[in-house]
A and B are shown apart, each in its own frame.
Chain A
Amino acid sequence: MDYLRPYRSFVSYIDRSREYYVAQGYSRPYAWAHHNDVPFALLPKPLSRCRVGLVTTAGRTDAEGMIGAGRMKRDPFAQPADPPPKSLFTDDLSWDKKATHTDDVDSFLPVNRLAEQAAGGRIGSASPRFYGVPTDYSQSRTSNDAAPRILKWCREDGLDAVLLSAL
Chain B
Amino acid sequence: MGSARDIVEECGVARFVFTDFPLGNPCGKPWDTEMQRSIIGSALDLLEGAWMPRTTVQTPFHWEDDMWRDAFLRVDDGNREALARAGEERRRLQAEVKTSR
Question: Chain A: residues with CB nearer than 8 A to chain B?
Answer: 9-17, 19-21, 23-26, 32-43, 47, 50, 52, 68-70, 90, 94-104, 106-110, 113-114, 116-117, 122-123, 161, 163-167
Contact = CB atoms under 8 A, between A and B. Distances in A.
A167 B27 CA distance: 9
Contact of A104 (B20, B30, B50, B68): B30
Contact of B40 (A13, A32, A41, A113): A113
Interface string B48-87: 1011111000000001000111011101000010011011
B2 A99 contact: no
Given A98-B68, A165-B2, A123 B44 contact: yes
Given A10-B20, A23-B75, A167-B26, A35 B12 contact: yes
Contact of B10 (A32, A41, A69, A70): A32
Closest A-B pairs by Cβ, 7 of them: A24-B87, A95-B24, A96-B22, A104-B30, A40-B53, A99-B22, A38-B12
B68 A12 contact: no
B14 A39 contact: yes
13 contacts: A24-B86, A39-B14, A40-B14, A40-B53, A42-B51, A52-B47, A68-B94, A96-B23, A99-B68, A104-B30, A107-B24, A107-B29, A163-B40
Given A19-B75, A99-B63, A106 B28 contact: yes
Interface of B: 1-2, 4-8, 10-14, 20-33, 36-37, 39-41, 43-44, 47-48, 50-54, 63, 67-69, 71-73, 75, 80, 83-84, 86-88, 90-91, 93-94, 97
Interface residues of chain A: helix, strand, loop or mixed (majority): loop
A116 B48 contact: no
A10 B20 CA distance: 7
B25 A10 contact: no
A102 B24 contact: yes
A10 B48 CA distance: 27
